């Protein structure tokens, strides 16, 4: 069992948990994830590590309620525990393997959209600790959905906030904010790292391609079982097929087939909604068939 040493609601339906997992905290690197399970029959849920403390022995996970399994994770109280936490899994961010001198000579921009702010944070923090701080754009629909602002401000070279409705920071999309930095404020970047909704990463990649800026995206939102066996996280990158959880989760943003990835996401969202409907009907005593089983 893995004890929850801290639980905090960051925004509507978004919960932060610090989990006591000393072995994972000791070896975790930016960009990696864990698989969490609540209950002996619980679903395996892959979650990106959002922070870690090697000395205290905890890791931070940020979860958004999107279905029954994520709801169960978010409902575990402080002092409670997860049945399983397995990891760290996945490949660390590629800059972990670069020389510090090379990193210090680069201008890096991170673009975080919504919940993507959580997995961006440990990468920015790691660079800050190496003496190579990066610029960060954090985007959200409105100010109430912004997370990790104080934490990010403490480790970013410059932090820029963008909200769709203009309730805080730059009024517009993260791509517009990036273009403003480059076109109007004289900023230059060697690398852009984007993590957030698939549609956001698609348009970030289209924009950076026009500027000729190398771009890395994280496809962690595609992962389902975290082992590559289910095939749900299959993604086309250039002319090759990869499995996000074993080959990624980070890939060349200019080569990802986002349209195919979004179709795959929508397929599983549709399946989740059908399962939720079935569970509700069964709880009410009805008999149903959604094509997953035969009754």
For 4-23, the pLDDT digits (tens) are 999 999 988 899 999 999 99
For 66-88, the pLDDT digits (tens) are 888 888 999 999 999 899 999 89
Question: Where do the domains of the chain lie, and which CATH numbers do they carry?
Answer: 2-89 (2.40.30.10), 94-218 (3.40.50.80), 222-295 (no CATH)
Cα 115 to chain center, whole Å? 6
pTM over 0.95: no
Inform me whether the pLDDT recorded for 120 exceeds 50. Answer: yes
- Is the pLDDT higher at 257 or at 233? 257
Q: How far apart are CA 77 and CA 19, in angstroms?
A: 11
Q: Give the residue-averaged pLDDT of 127-144.
A: 95
> 245 and 225 in contact (C-beta within 8 Å)?
yes
């Amino acid at each position: 069992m893995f004890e929850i040493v801290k639980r905090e609601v960051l925004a509507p339906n978004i919960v932060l948990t610090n989990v006591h997992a000393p072995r994972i905290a000791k070896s975790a690197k930016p960009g990696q994830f864990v698989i969490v399970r609540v209950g002996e029959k619980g679903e395996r849920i892959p979650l990106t590590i959002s922070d870690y403390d090697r000395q205290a022995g905890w890791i931070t996970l940020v979860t958004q309620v999107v279905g029954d399994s994520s709801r169960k994770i978010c409902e575990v109280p402080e002092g409670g525990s997860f049945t399983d936490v397995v990891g760290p899994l996945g490949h660390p961010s590629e800059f972990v393997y670069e020389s510090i001198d090379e990193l210090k000579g680069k201008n890096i921009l991170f673009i975080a959209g919504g919940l993507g702010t959580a997995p961006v944070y440990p990468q920015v923090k790691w660079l800050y600790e190496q003496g190579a701080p990066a610029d960060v754009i954090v985007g959200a629909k409105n100010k109430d959905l912004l997370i990790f602002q104080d934490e990010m401000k403490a480790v970013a070279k410059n932090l820029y906030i963008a909200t769709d409705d203009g309730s805080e920071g730059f009024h517009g999309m993260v791509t517009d904010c990036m273009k403003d930095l480059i076109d109007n404020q004289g900023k230059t970047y060697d690398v852009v790292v984007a993590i957030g909704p698939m549609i956001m990463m698609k348009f970030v990649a289209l924009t950076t391609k026009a500027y000729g800026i190398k771009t890395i995206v994280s496809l962690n939102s595609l992962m389902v079982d975290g082992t590559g066996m289910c095939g749900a996280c299959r993604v086309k990158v250039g002319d090759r097929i990869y499995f996000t959880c074993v080959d990624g989760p980070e890939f060349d943003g200019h080569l990802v087939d986002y349209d195919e990835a979004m179709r795959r996401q929508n397929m599983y969202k549709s399946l989740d909604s059908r399962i939720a409907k079935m569970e509700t009907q069964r709880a009410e005593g009805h008999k149903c068939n959604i094509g997953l089983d035969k009754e």
